Structure 1
Amino acid sequence: MTWVEQEKTALVATFRSSDAEAPTLCEGWNVRRLLAHLIQREQRPAGVLGDVISRKPPGQEPGLTKLTGTAMTPAGYQELIDRFSRDTPRWSPMSWAAEKLNLVEYVIHHEDIRRAGTEPAEPRDLPEDEQLAIRRQLGTLAKLGLRKAPVGVRLATPQGESREIKPGDGVTLTGDPVELALWVSGRRDAAHVNVTGDPGAVNAFQTWARAK
């Protein structure tokens, strides 16, 4: 199995063991709605576009509401999980480019479930090679999320790997790849990441991050 296949299998298991009404780290989304998002993203691109055009706030997207409306009973929720667990249609880029498009997506949303609520789960002990695969895909996500940072930014792991994301003097974000993925995607309170650098740069960076 590829890493994305293994992560999807683990995510499906977490969906099956989770309360559909439980909160997630995604504002306005419970576990059921997060599941619907993943199905819509992979199987119903027109629904994704419709929700974007509707400009409804999180929790009120019409496409996701339609999907979740079919899964309000325990049996309906399990059927929705079954739908997600099936192979993605071959016409979808989420099928033939799954490793590049879905690995980090699955990892982040998996932690959206695990780390939400009053008793968030501890980080998972993922295989080193999977962590490496996640780290290799962080560049685009990090550059998008940090492009407007007021100082230079570098990502680093506790093992010593380092990558410049925004040129210039500034700050270093240090954490395992999953933690860095959570941080740059906006899940900062849930991410185990240290921000270091010149005090002035750290202060400017943290002020900017809190305002986002």
Structure 2
Amino acid sequence: MTFARQEREDLAAFLATLSEQQWSEPTLCTGWNVRDLVAHVVSFDELDGRGLVRRFVAGRFIPSRINAIGVAEYAKRSPRELLEVLTEHVEPRGFTTGFGGMIALIDGMVHHQDIRRALGMPRDIPPDRLLRTLRLALLAPPIGAFWRARGLRLVASDQAWASGRGPEVRGPAEAILMAVAGRRGVVEELSGPGQRKLAGRINGGT
């Protein structure tokens, strides 16, 4: 939860520097611009238990539908208003606090990078926070990282971290995180005999 809060604080500070035009720019999440993605990140924090159930039922318990409903509910909020919500909820609440804050941490970091990478504005993520997120992402079913990484050995070239067995995939820890999270284009930053297999899984192959 501490890492989740720190990640949200960093995201809020970054978003405060963006222009109105940048809030309209696309992200690595297909179909979502920066404003949409920030709406998604905060869309669960204002829900009580009853509201959460209603959204899940309306979305037929399908994650993509549930997330789309949340974004649509925040469609009329301006970037300033969304940033205010995020600032008020740097300490995650509700659904995203699940598993000790794991949901908020993974969601926050991956989407933070979705925005930064699309805008060409990289950052140095604190290694302890990054590696904790990477380990957790491989355990979180909705991310799909476990299935993309199965049968491969992931090795961070910039951190003392490795996971799995099989053909090696090597590269920066942040790029490994984004690749196993299914972000297209990132896998080209990785190398090794297992890179091609990981690329195929990200692009719809097996």
**Where on the TM-score scale, by shorter chain, does this alignment land: which range?**
0.7 to 0.9
Indicate the RMSD between aligned Cα atoms, in angstroms.
3.5
Note closer, same or farther for the CA distance 1:21–1:81 as it changes in structure 2 (3 Å cut). Answer: same
Contact 1:88 1:95 in 2 (8 A): no
TM-score normalised over the length of structure 2: 0.74
Mind listing any 5+ residue stretches in structure 1 that lack a counterpart?
none
Query: Equivalent residues in 2 for 1:27-66 (5 A)?
Result: 27-44=30-47, 45-46=52-53, 48-49=55-56, 52-53=59-60, 61-66=68-73
- Contact 1:179-1:191 at 8 Å conserved across structures: yes
Kept in 2, the 8 Å contact 1:88–1:94? The answer is no
Distance 1:210 1:179 in 2: 16
Aligned to 2:17: 17
- Equivalent residues in 2 for 1:1-212, closer than 5 Å: 2-18=2-18, 19-44=22-47, 45-46=52-53, 48-49=55-56, 52-53=59-60, 61-69=68-76, 71=77, 76-87=78-89, 92-95=94-97, 97=99, 99-117=101-119, 120-122=120-122, 124-141=123-140, 144-147=144-147, 152-158=151-157, 159-164=159-164, 169=166, 171-190=167-186, 193-197=189-193, 203-211=196-204
Q: Indicate conservation of the 8 Å contact 1:43/1:89, yes or no.
A: no
**1:107 deviation in Å?**
1.0
* Structure richer in strand, relative to its length: 1
What is the TM-score with the length of structure 1 in the denominator? 0.73
Q: What is the percent sequence identity of the aligned residues?
A: 23
Larger gyration radius, structure 1 or structure 2: 1
**Partners of 2:131 and 2:161 within 8 A in 1:** no
Which range moved further: 12-21 or 135-144? 135-144
Q: Specify every segment of 5 or more residues in structure 2 that has no aligned partner in the other structure, as ranges.
A: none
Aligned-partner SS, 1:211: coil
Q: Which structure is richer in relative contact order (CA contacts within 8 A, separation 6 or more)?
A: 2
Runs (4+) of structure 1 exceeding 4 A deviation are 88-91, 201-205
